[in-house]
Amino acid sequence: SLSEFLNNKYEQKEWTRCKVQNFRRGDNGNLYAVFVYYEKADIEVNGEVTDGIAEKYSILEIDEENDSVYEIPLEAAPAVKEDFGRRDAWEVEWITDYHVYEDGNILLICGESGGGYGYYIDGETGKTLKDMGSVISSKTRFAYGESELVFYSKGLKSFQVLSIPDLEEQNKFGASLGDDVLGKEWYFYMNPDDWKLYMFNGDTVYQTSNYQNSDEVEPVTSAATFDDLAQGQATVMDFFVGDQEDYYICLVETTEEYGVESSSYRMIHYTKA
């Protein structure tokens, strides 16, 4: 079980803090999560050795049927940071996104140099198969295809499809939607059963049935479907598509009281008209 894994790991490492987060399904159907723990380490600053914090990352493969956890320790890791004794120094997540492909290999998107830095990881050993370098120069959301990465490129004003792990451009699509539609926040859902790609910009859901070769994009909801999302202070956090092409919008609302921020989450279900 997960609790047993954490107890055993702590006996080995005695970390100062740990987190298990970012649970998701791989294309192979297995459940995964990011595990990060922090341990004390030395760091040299201005020629002097001082206290530092090392972040250690693993991907956990969770066997739901047998209630067991398999750890994939990552060879890639961020540099040791100086320990200022502040918790907020630990709040910046190094892994901003990840995806497990059908063969079990893992694509990591890491927050380095202000954008997205890519590592292609062996799904059994955690070794880096390819240091992909800078994938994109600014933070954005991604869709993960059969063996591709899909995202909206502000520079190209279209959606770009790059092969993994070589980052060669395979296709561009969506430029015909126009600046008014494209210039919004985009959320993606890829169906791994038929590789249909759904894209949501806060107003309308669009679909492309052939993101690999076609430039055709079509709206699949009416303009009024999501009118109620504009009410209140909640913002869209994520977007999913169900088996019957029902839509699920996850919202987060942050409030502050007496100087303390808190977040509340809710999910809205829309049935296909």
Spell out the domains of the chain, with CATH numbers in brackets: 2-231 (2.120.10)
Instruction: Identify each DSSP E strand in the chain by its residue range.
Output: 17-25, 31-45, 48-63, 68-73, 81-82, 95-100, 106-112, 115-121, 128-136, 143-144, 148-153, 158-163, 169-173, 187-190, 197-200, 205-208, 218-219, 235-241, 247-257, 260-270
Q: Which of 175-184, 223-232, 238-247 has the lowest mean pLDDT?
A: 223-232
The Cα–Cα gap between 194 and 209 comes to 8
Average pLDDT in the chain = 86
Mean pLDDT, to the nearest integer, of 202-219? 90
Mean pLDDT, to the nearest integer, of 24-39? 92
The Cα–Cα gap between 227 and 67 comes to 42
Residue-level pLDDT at 148: 93
Q: Which residue has the higher pLDDT, 117 or 229?
A: 117
CA-based diameter of the chain, in Å? 66
pLDDT over threshold 60, residue 89: no
Residue-level pLDDT at 50: 81
Instruction: Decide: 151 and 142 in contact? Cβ < 8 Å.
Output: yes
pLDDT in tens, 121-140: 999 999 999 999 888 766 67
Mean pLDDT, to the nearest integer, of 141-148? 91
Contact partners, residue 234, CB within 8 Å, separation at least 6:
251, 252, 253, 266
Residue-level pLDDT at 66: 87
The band of 186, judged by pLDDT with boundaries at 50, 70 and 90, is: very high
**Residue 246 phi/psi, 5° resolution?**
-80, 155
